[in-house]
Amino acid sequence: MRMMIHPCHSIQITALLFCGTLVAGEPKIENGFYRMVESGGIKVRTLNGEEIQLGEKLKVTADYSRLNVSSMSNKNDLFSLLVEKKGPFSEPIPNTALFVDGFCLIDPPGSGKENNLFYSNFPSETAATSFARHFNVKVVYRHHPHHEMLVSFVPEKEKYKTSSSVPVKLQIKNVGKEPFAFMVGGMEMFRDNQFAFAILNDHSVLDTGNSMILGGLMPVTILKPGKTFEKEVDLKGWFDFKERSTYPIRGSYSMNFVEPNADSFFTIWTDYATADFSVTIGDD
């Protein structure tokens, strides 16, 4: 079974600063990693108009354990760069900038990573192509996996007590001719936030659950044609059913698709398995 760790604490995805032009009169900058300085350096201007200064070029050995440039959106209009070294960078990551072909990239502060990991995201395919060429890798684009699935949420009882749990079972059947694969897990703590639910009438039932995500293991599930993936979830993690009634509900399950026959964990498509159902809360 292939498995990965959800990076919700090790990697923080935030807006980055990247540079597109030099300030007039400054010399050409070689590609590579640089130490950022407050004064006396080479000035570059970010695309949002902010100036930063680059000091000495760092000697960064190419002892990479992970290196990739990948798309983060189905439209392929947002990309990420991840550079993980086997040892630490020579300069602390918060003081390090990467400059390639006029694009300057800094690691967002406050992500709590070790000093061997440089990571940021950016909305530029041109920059992604430049970073990939610089590190001699290919840009990993997203593409539709052509999945065909039948989705249902099945209550385990015809009627639930107000004081009891309210388990329902998600069923995803591959009704297509090709297998597809997706990640399961990594969004749990007080409840499994890979699920989402909404009451469809005017009962005014609020989501009283805890949406905090701890992260964790994310095994890959490969669903072959004709096979069904099942997972149970307790609706009490979302709603406190106090009123005796029948509740129409829309349930969804977020799915990060990956290549079924690959050893990588790159998300090739993001989608949701969604279906409507109802549960009845009766007398105790």
Where does CATH 2.60.40.10 sit in the chain? 149-282
- What single-letter amino acid sits at 56? E
pTM attached to this predicted model:
0.81
Please state, in angstroms and rounded to a whole number, the distance separating the CA atoms of residues 110 and 38. Answer: 19
| Tokens of residue 159, six digits | 């009627």
CATH number belonging to domain 149-282:
2.60.40.10
Read off φ and ψ for residue 128, nearest 5 degrees. -60, -40
Length of the chain in terms of residues written: 284
3-state secondary structure of 115: coil
Distance separating alpha carbons of residues 44 and 143, to the nearest angstrom: 35
**Residue 232 C-alpha from the chain's centroid:** 23
**Strand (E) or helix (H) holding 133:** helix 125-135
| pLDDT tens, residue order, the chain (284 aa) | 455 544 433 333 333 444 554 444 556 789 999 999 999 999 987 655 568 899 999 999 999 999 999 999 999 999 999 999 999 998 888 888 999 999 988 887 655 567 899 998 899 999 999 999 999 999 999 999 999 999 999 999 999 998 899 999 999 999 999 999 999 988 888 899 999 999 987 666 778 777 777 767 788 999 999 999 999 999 999 998 888 899 999 999 999 999 998 777 899 999 999 999 999 998 76
Cβ atoms of 7 and 215 within 8 Å: the answer is yes
- Of 31, 47, 51, 27, whose CA–CA distance to 39 is shortest? 51
